[in-house]
Amino acid sequence: MGTVLTVVETSGTTLRGSALSAIAAARQLAEHHGGEVVLLVMGAGVAAAAEAARAFAPRVILVEDARLEHYLAESYAPIVARIARAEGATAVLATANNFGKDLLPRVAALLDAAMASDVSRVLGKARFARPILAGNAIATVEVSTAIVALTTRQTEFPPAVPLALPGALTTAEAGEVSTLGASFIGVNSSKSERPELTDAKVVVSGGRGMKTGENFRHLEALADTMGAAVGASRAATDAGLVPADWQVGQTGKVVAPDLYIAVAISGAIQHLAGMKGSKVIVAINKDGEAPIFQVADYGLVATWEQAVPELTEAIRLHKQNAH
């Protein structure tokens, strides 16, 4: 029997949506390893998040230390590896987002473990499926080391539901914390009332066809009528129309909302890799031959200038009448 140690990401006092996806994957893996899921919550001021995590696993380990206030893989990885050894973990897991992709390779190296990244399905104790070639093919990979390290694709594992009874909460010391010469300088982030791209149920994305960053305000107005997040194609972010963290696609964020509205996006394969798992896809493009229509459930051949204001107003009136 082997423990599946799952490093969960927090947002202030709560668990991020990506953490619930990782827990769902960990539960599947634990069935093959014959052990239990143990969640690891790390940072400063994360006690409330660790308490919330008790609802999702038999055991939660909290490592709270002021020196861990700002995440650095150099300081976090040795702690994760030490706790994995102490717990007798046969698998260490995190979500394949910026946090997991940065942390888990270092943890794997410290544990002398092979790693499977961006896993979309758990096939066995050490066998996994993962997308390759921009999602156009699925590879089956097998890890041969005693400990398995992996990151899981958030969109492929539904958020975990709470257990019948909360698990036990224990604490562990951070011990020696070394940044190995790295240092935290600061975080430049834009604050928004809209949901995170990877957690949103509805996403409105724009492409280079929006022409200017100013024009994206029309998409923001549409998104706000639905409580949606706003995304963009790489072409739009590379052109400087919108911030880089709005990018959806192979080299950006992978999303799978209930509704994805693609406006003035041609549908390059790299963009499709980041959103084609959406439940319903709506495409608005003036080019009726655009590749985006091949994956869309609903398509409208029209200019964004015509379609977006009309759609925004129609949704606004519908909501107004519904009340």
Give the pLDDT confidence of 197-246 residue by residue, as tens digits: 988 999 999 999 999 999 999 999 999 999 999 999 999 999 999 999 99
Asked if 3-171 and 202-322 have one fold, the answer is yes
pLDDT tens string 75-116: 999 999 999 999 999 999 999 998 999 999 999 999 999 999
pLDDT digits (tens, 9 = 90+) for 11-45: 878 899 889 999 999 999 999 999 999 999 999 99
38: nearest Cα among 13, 63, 17: 63
The pLDDT value given to residue 135: 81
What pTM value is reported for the model? 0.85
* pLDDT beyond 90 at 152: yes
Say how far apart CA 166 and CA 169 lie, in whole Å: 9
Ramachandran bin of 43, using left for φ above 0, alpha for ψ from -120 to 50, beta for the remaining angles: left
Task: Work out the pLDDT band at 134, boundaries 50, 70, 90.
Answer: confident
Task: Report residue 166 as tokens.
Answer: 């909360």
Q: In whole angstroms, what is the distance from residue 93 CA to residue 277 CA?
A: 22
190 pLDDT band (50/70/90 cuts)?
A: low
> Is residue 53's pLDDT more than 90?
yes
| Six token digits for residue 140 | 């089956």
Mean local confidence (pLDDT), 132-160: 93
Count of Cβ atoms closer than 10 Å to residue 184 Cβ: 11
Distance CA 204, CA 224 (A): 10
Report the interhelical angle of 73-86 vs 98-110 (nearest 10°). 60
Provide the sign of the torsion angle of the four alpha carbons 116, 74, 97, 63, taken in this order: positive
Q: Which CATH superfamily is domain 3-171 in?
A: HUPs (3.40.50.620)
CATH of region 202-322, choose from 1.10.3720.10, 3.40.50.2300, 3.30.465.10, 3.40.50.1220:
3.40.50.1220
Do residues 90 and 3 touch, judged by C-beta distance below 8 A? yes
Are 65 and 76 spatial neighbours (Cβ–Cβ below 8 Å)?
Answer: no
Domain ranges of the chain: 3-171, 202-322
